[in-house]
Chain A
């Protein structure tokens, strides 16, 4: 009997000792948690997309609580989150420029062709390793949907070997832009009106053989633009959206119709 008693008493004693030790330790070594941090983290969307430039929502909340960080960096959250964050921190509301992913390629089977019957691993990264992918153009969309796989909102689908963005679902987090091995996808402010749907840097004659949609660097758009917003660099037209007035003349004159009105490219989420 005494053996059982001794065992029960000693285990209980060890248990109580541990409990007291932990209780004391948690009081003595308590670390003050910033209350704002908790509420900030709660109002962020929790997508952990990293569009703000921090390591997930926790990282952004910590940076916000520490101060000195802009409150409008959360792109998926948009204006409502920016407003809430501003209220918690006691600073004014800053408008969030919402962004949207844009595919700078139009290499559908109608416009371009395959140069091989690729049968390897069905990801863009793997396909690019084999002579730059299956398509004739080594700069364009590889068409295996690495971007679609990484998209947290299911906003991308591959249609006719080309990534398409559903702009109603796209939150502009830019994960697809980071993933795309050919850097065909970029995120842009979703007020843009024209898009160069080509990423090829080769000379015009070379592109002509590969894709009927490619930018041949003819500079018609550059000459036509009233605001001087377009420059052809490395045989590819590039639009400076800071200067672009949205008249759409470039899209009208484009020889290969690779500059398209953004409405055609599927943007104008808010206006539509």
Chain B
């Protein structure tokens, strides 16, 4: 696929098919780690990193190991296994060789091990029939979309917590409501790709 196709995949992954706000995957870190901008960005960068890495590993496994042997149904379990091991390996390697990145990602790296958004991206790549390069671009875009959602939402959350909502709404209820409104606003990106690229 040409460069234009890759840009379309990237943009639609970030805006239109945003994993958190449109497909409701990866909600736990979205609600759990979005209290502060610093930890939200740390988590998001770790997600982008892990999504890229796990796509780079799971796509070849699916295409060259599972499909030729008629074991496509093992996709989920093998992917989870591989992603979990991979994240652990990356963590060990970072701790040894890139200390600064390790301390920046901190506790978020192991947290992502079983994040549904990561598994979702790797499976979506297969289901949509993407090639290797397209899969990587889609993974990167999905990670960026996660980053965008986290950063926006940490700002929103700061405001809702400062403005003292009524007692019955304080805490999680107001957070869920604002998440819903934010998700609704992302529906405004429907059709953006078609209009930009004229499909």
A binds B: yes
Q: Is the CB of B77 within 8 A of A11?
A: yes
Q: Is the CB of A18 within 8 A of B85?
A: yes
For the complex, count residues of A whose C-beta is within 8 A of B: 17
- Identify the closest chain A residue to B164 (Cβ): A121
Count of A-B residue pairs with CB < 8 Å: 43
Q: Which of B1-9, B90-98, B110-118 contacts A (4 or more CB under 8 A)?
A: B90-98
B36-71 interface bits toward A, Cβ cutoff 8 Å, 1 = contact, 0 = none: 000000000000000000000000010001000111
Q: Is the CB of A25 within 8 A of B74?
A: no
Q: Verify if A7 is at the interface (C-beta below 8 Å from B).
A: yes
Partner of B92, one of A11, A15, A19, A26: A26
Q: Verify if A91 is at the interface (C-beta below 8 Å from B).
A: no
Q: Is the CB of B81 within 8 A of A6?
A: no
Tell me the residues in window 7-30 of chain A with beta carbons closer than 8 Å to chain B beta carbons: 7, 10-11, 14-15, 18-19, 21-22, 25-26, 29-30
User: In terms of DSSP, what is the predominant structure of the interface of chain B?
Assistant: helix
Q: Verify if B23 is at the interface (C-beta below 8 Å from A).
A: no
Partner of B95, one of A7, A22, A31: A31
Inside 8 A of A30's CB, which chain B residues have their CB? 96
Inside 8 A of A26's CB, which chain B residues have their CB? 92
Partner of A3, one of B70, B92, B95: B70
Cα A14 to Cα B71 with chains together (Å) = 13
B161 to chain A, nearest CB (A): 12
Partner of B96, one of A18, A19, A21, A31: A31
Q: Is the CB of A14 within 8 A of B78?
A: yes
Inside 8 A of B101's CB, which chain A residues have their CB? none
Q: Verify if B190 is at the interface (C-beta below 8 Å from A).
A: no
Task: Given A11-B78, A11-B81, verify A25-B92 contact (CB < 8 Å).
Answer: yes
A62 to chain B, nearest CB (A): 11
Q: Is the CB of A29 within 8 A of B82?
A: no
Partner of A7, one of B71, B81, B89, B97: B71
Q: Is the CB of B82 within 8 A of A25?
A: no
Inside 8 A of A31's CB, which chain B residues have their CB? 95-96
Inside 8 A of B84's CB, which chain A residues have their CB? 18
Cα A175 to Cα B137 with chains together (Å) = 46
Inside 8 A of A6's CB, which chain B residues have their CB? 69, 71
Task: Given A15-B81, A21-B85, A22-B85, verify A10-B71 contact (CB < 8 Å).
Answer: yes
Task: Given A3-B70, A18-B81, A121-B164, verify A10-B93 contact (CB < 8 Å).
Answer: no
A131 to chain B, nearest CB (A): 20
Cα A116 to Cα B69 with chains together (Å) = 79
Tell me the residues in window 78-102 of chain A with beta carbons closer than 8 Å to chain B beta carbons: none
Inside 8 A of A15's CB, which chain B residues have their CB? 81
Partner of B93, one of A3, A14, A25: A25
Q: Is the CB of B96 within 8 A of A29?
A: yes
Cα A31 to Cα B81 with chains together (Å) = 25
Q: Is the CB of B82 within 8 A of A18?
A: yes
Cα A10 to Cα B96 with chains together (Å) = 31
Cα A19 to Cα B82 with chains together (Å) = 10
Q: Is the CB of A10 within 8 A of B65?
A: yes
Cα A15 to Cα B61 with chains together (Å) = 13
B126 to chain A, nearest CB (A): 17
If A3-B70, A10-B71 are given as contacts, then 10 extra A-B residue pairs at C-beta distance below 8 Å, sorted by A number, are: A6-B69, A7-B74, A14-B61, A14-B78, A14-B82, A18-B81, A19-B85, A22-B88, A29-B93, A29-B97
Can you offer 28 A-B residue contacts whose CB atoms are under 8 A? A6-B71, A7-B71, A10-B65, A10-B69, A10-B74, A11-B74, A11-B77, A11-B78, A14-B61, A14-B78, A15-B81, A18-B81, A18-B82, A21-B85, A21-B89, A22-B85, A22-B92, A25-B89, A25-B92, A25-B93, A26-B92, A29-B92, A29-B95, A29-B96, A29-B97, A30-B96, A31-B95, A121-B164
